[in-house]
Amino acid sequence: MPRYRLTIEYDGTGLVGWQRQDNGPSVQQALEEAFTAFCGESVTLSAAGRTDAGVHALGQVAHVDLDRDWPAETVRKAVNQHLRPQPISILDAAEVDEEFHARFSAVERAYLYRIISRPSPLALEQGQAWHVPRLLDAGAMHETAQVLVGHNDFSTFRDAQCQAKSPVKTLDELTVGRTGELIEVRARARSFLHRQVRSMVGSLMHVGEGKWSAADLRAALEARDRAACGVIAPACGLYLVEVGYR
């Protein structure tokens, strides 16, 4: 039974997230239905991460097993054809061995969070970024973000519904940069807790406003208490950028 690795891009606006759910359309459902339309098989896709409702992806990775050995390029083209007009696209398909698993073989995940800091509301970027109608100090955000880098207990930045066995994670990178009105927060780690990135970004926003200092962020981290977290950044600004494998 051949296994295919898929690299997928999608706009999460209007979707309930990656995982199939009863309360609305999901990325997983759309892809599985497109595969059935293509090859007549009932399939189940496994993804590197289950993005939440409204979260986007530039490089989500999933795998699927098919009964027939199709050329990978045929899979990509045919499934994309059946996905139209939904905002989901398979960027690349490759046949892999059965030991590959999109989730468990991953050794790194990279996320991007986009903030547009300006007084006027968004027109073209609505649903694609967090609009903050105040000027944020991106330099202070970046400097203070380094408090969170490393091996820490991230209970403060963990959603109450998180199913991870431990709140302890190693955050390899957390950077903040500005280009004009756009502020980009980039995070990289082997794995993340549920809503960890959005929780960290919301707390860093307080730093950008001048409401929190590095000491405040460190105190929030060391509290290991969800109540110590700042606001939770909205889903619309978050993108799963890349999943790394050995």
* Cα–Cα distance measured from residue 40 to residue 170, given in angstroms and rounded to the nearest whole number: 42
Catalytic choice (22, 52, 69, 159): 52
| Cβ neighbours of 191 (radius 10 Å) | 15
- Gap between the Cα atoms of 170 and 147, Å rounded: 12
- The question of whether 52 is a catalytic residue gets the answer yes
Retrieve residue 10's tokens: 């999608």
Question: 96 is written with which tokens?
Answer: 């892999």
CA atoms within 13 A on the CB side of 243: 26
Active site residues: 52
